[in-house]
């Protein structure tokens, strides 16, 4: 498995941030398209991106049956030694959502949140914790304004943390898709409308 260099990841993140407004508009439901030149707010732009990624991620999480929820590819299937299980991928993203979208949670609060998330074992509890983390993410993004989007905080700018958080979701979504397909499950986003 090829692991991209840090430079490649940074280039990808810059491209994602630059393309965010266009992607957000493309993801909007069939509503009146804003006129060219319309100023979009940072919260509206990032909110649309997050909503689209949230749907794909939660749908993929829910698609894995309970009896395969802890599936991890065997080392003999390729270079999979030590990878997270399917459930582990979801828990990791849930915890990361509080880092990216936590709005400056203290280290102690982050540790307590991560410990609580790791204790979840049932599919229902893992998915509920994931959904709760998306509620926090939307709250954080809804608070982004043109005035505070690119002001430095303890962890970076609100806009930068949001872009990186959304890119992080995409990375782990791709891994979950591989796990689903290894179990003969077509990811919901790839099923199309029939």
**pLDDT attached to residue 23:** 45
Query: Does the residue 157 lie in any domain?
Result: yes
Per the prediction, the chain carries an average pLDDT of: 85
pLDDT digits (tens, 9 = 90+) for 119-138: 999 999 999 999 999 999 99
Query: Does the residue 48 lie in any domain?
Result: yes
Query: Does the residue 136 lie in any domain?
Result: yes
CA end-to-end distance (rounded Å), the chain:
34
Query: Does the residue 33 lie in any domain?
Result: no
CA distances from 11 to 14, 151, 168 (A): 5, 22, 14
pLDDT digits (tens, 9 = 90+) for 62-83: 999 999 999 999 888 888 888 9
Query: Does the residue 194 lie in any domain?
Result: no
Mean pLDDT of 81-108: 93
Query: Does the residue 76 lie in any domain?
Result: no
Q: Which residues contact 35 (CB under 8 A, 6 or more apart)?
A: none
pLDDT digits (tens, 9 = 90+) for 147-160: 999 999 888 899 99
The number of domains in the chain is 1
pTM: 0.80
DSSP characters over the chain = -----HHHHHHHHHHHHHHHHHHHHHHS-SSPPPPTTPPPPHHHHHHHHHHHHHHHHHHHHHHS-GGGTT----GGGSS-TTPPPHHHHHHHHHHHHHHHHSSS--HHHHHHHHHHHHH--SHHHHHHHHHHHHHHHHHHHHT--TTTTTSB-SSSBHHHHHHHHHHHHHHHHHHHHHHHHHTT---GGGS---
Query: Does the residue 95 lie in any domain?
Result: yes
CB 43 within 8 A of CB 144: yes
CA distance 91 to 123: 11
Q: How many other CB atoms are there within 10 angstroms of residue 145's CB atom?
A: 12
- Per-residue pLDDT for 11 more than 80? no
**pLDDT attached to residue 140:** 96
- Residue 101 maps to which CATH number? 1.20.120.450
For residues 80 and 99, the model is more confident at: 99
pLDDT digits (tens, 9 = 90+) for 39-63: 889 999 999 999 999 999 999 999 9
Query: Does the residue 1 lie in any domain?
Result: no
Q: How confident is the model at residue 22 (pLDDT cuts 50, 70, 90)?
A: very low
Range of the domain at 101: 6-28+40-71+81-189
CA 22 to chain centroid: 19
CB 166 within 8 A of CB 49: yes
For residues 30 and 142, the model is more confident at: 142
């Amino acid at each position: 498995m090829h692991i991209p260099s840090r430079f490649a990841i940074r280039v990808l993140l810059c491209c994602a941030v630059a393309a965010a407004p266009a992607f957000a508009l493309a993801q909007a439901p069939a509503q009146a398209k804003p006129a060219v030149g319309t100023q979009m707010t940072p919260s509206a732009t990032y909110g649309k991106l997050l909503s689209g990624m949230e749907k794909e991620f939660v749908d993929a999480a829910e698609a894995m049956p309970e009896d395969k929820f802890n599936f991890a590819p065997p080392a003999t299937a390729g270079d999979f030694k030590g990878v997270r299980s399917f459930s582990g991928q979801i828990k990791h993203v849930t915890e990361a959502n509080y880092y990216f979208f936590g709005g400056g949670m203290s280290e102690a609060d982050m540790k307590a949140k991560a410990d609580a998330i790791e204790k979840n074992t049932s599919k229902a509890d893992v998915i509920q914790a994931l959904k709760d983390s998306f509620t926090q993410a939307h709250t954080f993004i809804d608070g982004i304004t043109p005035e505070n989007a690119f002001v430095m905080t303890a962890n970076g700018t609100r806009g930068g943390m949001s872009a990186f958080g959304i890119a992080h979701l995409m990375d782990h979504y791709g891994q979950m898709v591989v796990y689903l397909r290894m179990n003969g499950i077509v990811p919901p986003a790839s099923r199309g409308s029939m």
